[in-house]
Amino acid sequence: MKYEKLVKNILKNVGGKENILSLAHCVTRLRFKLKDESKANKDKLKTIEGVITVVESGGQVQVVIGNHVSDVYSEFVAVSGLSSEQNQESEKKVGVFNSFIDVISGIFTPILGVLAATGMIKGLNALFVFLGWITPQSGTYQILQAIGDCFFYFLPIFLGYTAANKFKMNKFTGMAIGAALVYPALAKMTAGKPLYMLFAGSIIQSPVHSTFLGIPVIMMRYASSVIPIILATYFAAKVERFLKKIIPNVVKTFLTPFFTLLIVVPLTFIFIGPIATWLGTLLGKLTLSIYNFNSVICGLIMGGFWQVLVMFGLHWGFIPIAINNMATFGYDSFFPLMLGTPFATAGVVLAIAIKTKNKKLKGLAFPAFISSVFGISEPSLYGITLPRKKPFILTLVSSSIAGAIFGIFNTKVYTMGGLGIFGLPSCINPEGLDQGFYGYLIGIATAFILGFILTYLFGYSDKNDIMNDDTDSSDTQAVHEVLTSPLKGDVYELSSIDDKAFSKGALGKGVAIKPIEGRVIAPADGVLTTLFSTGHAIGITTDSGIELLIHIGMDTVKLDGKYFYPKFKQGDKIKKGDLLLEFDIESIESDGYSIISPIIITNSDEYLDVVGSDIKKTDYKDELLTVMV
């Protein structure tokens, strides 16, 4: 498997399979919900090769991988034996807001790829008509329109599936509820003169054309709708769980969906659907009023803060709003305000790529630039701009200016298409190119050029990157870290000692020392991550992530702490040269125990190699182990 090592390292550092409640992925991230987040070694996860960064948001530990996340996800499922539908009943409380973000991301993440793809096709179809390549009456147009519009039109069916999966009910029952909402024959029920008018004279005045068991039914348009199916599926999950408790197992398979549909679908048409539709209309008008109050200021704020919202996963709250607005008004003015962000990021990163003399950074920056142009800016964000702070700030500034331009030109999106350069078809008005589309072109060009110029002239100095350059002029020298000896004494190869767990390298690579002085000195800055109660063994994690085990003697655990005198506690921060432990060599040996002590790197498999020094005798300041990164 191509990503097997990466997957195993991630699995280990999220606390193992038993600590995972659920796993999903979006465009760039593996999204873990964990039983105990304290068991996840987030600092270690960030240092794993192949991991860009780690973000905690919405009750999730999000491991940012990059564009190939789907391949990593597939291998993770195969290696760990997990699935994205891992049981979550023991899930801890994460707060109302985090729960909302988690629900929205869980429902919309699986469909965004296809939703964007079909939206792009629909946008391109409008462009082809405008250019005169095809006519709306042609078969080519009709077929392309069917491809582009089908997913959005029948969105309640797809959301019925993903919402059912999120709410832990039968997914096909959820789809059936969505299908009922868009059932074609029901549209005919609104034809002709209404029987009477409900709520006459109010803002929710509604004609009634039909009834269900004498109860008036307000027929709404549910094609492309979002809120009704989500609320209906949430209610259906409650009904289904209740029915499962009272229906005998022998008939549960068909009677549970039978009664669930009989209860939920009529209630949705009578109560849930109309109320949800009114809420959707209110939400749409609210966002439109905010935008209309001052579209320029709105653009400055949304454009400037969008990448911050993405960092914390809060952008998910705007996805259903945008889809709802398109279903209600045929367009959305709010979502376009962030479309300059990937282009601003691309401009900033390209300036860094051109200006830096750090070969490693240059090698990272050019692929990140291309990824940003295509709308995936996380590799640029976490790998390049955010760690250097000023480029990140200039990205926000450039995105903010672009958002203001979109506000000035009243740029709209008419479909949920792609991001970056793939977002262009989404801004094409089905009636033809308008000022909003040209505003989009001006906005993204401004974001890119402004980001590039500001960064090149004022926002980046490669002084620190040159100092930290990991390559030499020949490009062949490997990055390495040297650890000094924690003991003073004679040096032996691990293979020469009797304990097979150490001598065979099962616990990691390293050396053995027969000490002539009963002191253990810290070989590097780090944390004392393990201190056995018996005092005979010490585990250190260095600031760079190296995990070092210092084991004093063979079988000395049986001494139960006699002759060992720790100077620090587990979890303490330590500095190179600190006295960590004292021990009585003579007493240990007089009790019949060997004093030869393995010094090993327990996470050796995460490095290219661990090389021991060729010296035969060592002192505390002597170089002992070289770790090749």
Contact 588, 568 (CB under 8 A): no
Phi, psi of 494 (to 5 degrees): -60, -35
**Catalytic-labelled residue, pool 25, 315, 536, 551:** 551
First-to-final CA distance of the chain: 22
Contact 623, 484 (CB under 8 A): yes
Side-chain half-sphere of 253: how many Cα atoms within 13 Å?
1
Residue type at position 623? E
Rounded-to-integer distance, Cα 484 and Cα 524, Å: 7
**Catalytic-labelled residue, pool 26, 298, 427, 536:** 26
Rounded-to-integer distance, Cα 241 and Cα 337, Å: 42
| Whole-Å CA distances, 363 to 359, 360, 453, 471, 474 | 6, 5, 21, 11, 15
Rounded-to-integer distance, Cα 476 and Cα 479, Å: 10
Contact 110, 401 (CB under 8 A): no
The pair of structure tokens assigned to 209 is 């054309």
SS3 121: helix
The pair of structure tokens assigned to 3 is 């990503």
Which contiguous run of DSSP H or E holds residue 103? helix 96-108
Q: Is 298 a catalytic residue?
A: no
Closest CA to 317 of 102, 117, 132: 102
β-bridge partners, 481: 627
Burial code (b: 16+ CB inside 10 Å, e: under 16) for 391-416 equals bbebbbbbbbbbbbbbbebebbbbbb
Contact 318, 334 (CB under 8 A): yes
Q: Is 26 a catalytic residue?
A: yes
215-217 and 60-64 as β-strands: parallel, antiparallel, unpaired? unpaired
> Beta strands of 19-109 (E only): which ranges?
20-25, 29-34, 53-57, 60-64
Length of the chain measured in residues: 629
Which contiguous run of DSSP H or E holds residue 530? strand 526-531
Per the listing, tokens 């003169």 go with 193
Contact 344, 380 (CB under 8 A): no
Q: What does the angle CA 409 – CA 435 – CA 136 come to, to the nearest 5 degrees?
A: 140
Contacts of 362 by beta carbon, 8 Å cutoff, 6+ apart: 353, 356
Rounded-to-integer distance, Cα 21 and Cα 86, Å: 6
The pair of structure tokens assigned to 199 is 């709520």
Long-range contacts of 569-574 (CB under 8 A, 24+ apart): 569/528, 569/531, 570/528, 570/529, 570/530, 570/531, 571/527, 571/528, 571/529, 572/527, 572/528, 573/526, 573/527, 573/528, 574/522, 574/525, 574/526, 574/527, 574/528, 574/540
Rounded-to-integer distance, Cα 457 and Cα 462, Å: 12
**What residues are labeled active site?**
26, 551
